[in-house]
Amino acid sequence: METIAEEQTSPLQQVTYLAQNDLDKLTSAEQGKIWATYVGNTMSVCVLSYMLNHVKDQEVKNILEHAIQLSKQFVQSLKGIFAKENYPVPVGFTQEDVDITAPRLFEDDFYLHYLKYVAKAGISLYGIAIPLVTRDDTRQFFTTCIDQTVNLINLVNTTLLKKGLLIRPPYIPYPESVDFIEKHSYHNGFFGRVRPLQALEITHLYDNVENNATSKAVLVGFSQVAKSNQAKAYFRRGKEIATKHYDTFSGILQEEGLTSPPILDQLVTTSTSSPFSDRLMLFHKLDMYAVRIRAYGNALSMCARHDVATKYARFLVEVGNYVEDGSNILIENGWLEQPPQAVDRNALASNKH
């Protein structure tokens, strides 16, 4: 005969069960990253579907098809997680935000540069997520995301090189021996002897020149087709910022006889018919400039020359102000979807029953 004790769950088991259920919930890191991934990839589906409608180069078309398929898969996987959690699905971007029949705004070659530009942003987003997410399904999801995005950017780079469209990062001589820094003048940049740029400084300067070249071309296109004067003015201001940053970083490289990526403005057509909603274009630049903040912060952390570090610090403030102004425009128009957030305890405490 079974005893009652064998049928009942002990208080300790109950606590363990509740704790396990609690651990199965999405953490703040998981909520934040899957939210951003969902919104970003719905935007990518809109942009890539438009590009696919105009591309003529078969090789570029194949890569675009691969990229849009990845974005659609990511969105579908996240919908599964949202459904499993009974979690409200973000609005993101839909067919209402794109007109794939609008005239061509960019040439085929630009699509490759653009894919590299957004893939960098994706790798940054997914790479930060992986150490922070703990649930099996989200960890597997972001691992797949970063693996697939790395494969995509490798494919894009291979094609850019094959077509002669990619300027390689600058070459520098191999060191003749292992050495150690002996003088504080290593940090000089304004006065005294200024040393040549070291490899990591060159790496980040090159990366930021490349990013600003692509960003500038996107802003040229967006400023031509935006419907509202407010959006047009915002994109023109962004173009001026990207131009200044491009000129500054490429100038530092050129002063030392090092190559830098060229501008891409010539790959923007003269079309003034918008393929995208102002909301999508504003969010796109807000999102990409937010990633720029991270890129400049990374570059600053690897920079030991005071003159270059000062430029990064100054540009970080400028980009931060630009992002804030962009978010204010989206808020004023009721276009900025709110990410998941913590409970406002002060509001709860002041609530009168």
Quote the pLDDT of residue 343: 82
Quote the pLDDT of residue 353: 55
Identity of residue 151? N
Q: What is the pTM of this model?
A: 0.89
15 or 29: whose pLDDT is higher? 29
Mean pLDDT calculated for residue range 272-296: 95
Mean pLDDT calculated for residue range 248-258: 96
Distance CA 104, CA 268 (A): 9
Mean pLDDT calculated for residue range 247-266: 96
Q: Is the pLDDT of residue 15 over 90?
A: no
Q: Is the pLDDT of residue 133 over 90?
A: yes
Q: Any idea what the Cα angle at residue 103 is, between residues 56 and 96, rounded to 5°?
A: 110
- CATH number of 27-162: 3.10.20.30, 1.25.40.340, 1.20.1260.10, 3.30.70.260? 1.20.1260.10
Distance CA 258, CA 282 (A): 34
> Where exactly are the structural domains of the chain?
27-162, 189-332
Q: Answer yes or no: are the C-beta atoms of 82 and 89 closer than 8 Å.
A: yes
DSSP code for 268:
B
Which stretch of 93-97, 165-169, 251-255 has the lowest confidence by average pLDDT?
165-169
- 189-332: CATH topology: Ferritin (1.20.1260)
pLDDT band at 273 (very low <50, low <70, confident <90, very high): very high
pLDDT tens digits along 314-334 = 999 999 999 999 999 999 999
Q: Is the pLDDT of residue 12 over 50?
A: no
pLDDT tens digits along 58-79 = 999 999 999 999 999 999 999 9
Identity of residue 225? V
Distance CA 348, CA 209 (A): 48
Identity of residue 112? L
Q: Is 168 helix (H, G, I), strand (E, B) or coil?
A: coil
Q: Is the pLDDT of residue 108 over 60?
A: yes
Quote the pLDDT of residue 304: 87
Domains 27-162 and 189-332 share a fold: yes
Which stretch of 3-17, 102-116, 215-229 has the lowest confidence by average pLDDT?
3-17
Q: Is 57 helix (H, G, I), strand (E, B) or coil?
A: coil
Quote the pLDDT of residue 232: 98
Angle between helices 28-52 and 136-162 (to 10 degrees): 30
Q: Is 106 helix (H, G, I), strand (E, B) or coil?
A: strand
Distance CA 287, CA 326 (A): 10
Q: Answer yes or no: are the C-beta atoms of 142 and 130 closer than 8 Å.
A: yes
Q: Answer yes or no: are the C-beta atoms of 111 and 51 closer than 8 Å.
A: yes
Residues contacting 179, CB < 8 A, separation 6+: none
pLDDT tens digits along 165-182 = 998 999 999 988 888 877
Mean pLDDT calculated for residue range 335-344: 88
Identity of residue 188? N
332 or 193: whose pLDDT is higher? 332
For 337, phi then psi, to 5°, come to -70, 135
CA dist 45 → 82, 144, 274 (Å): 19, 18, 17
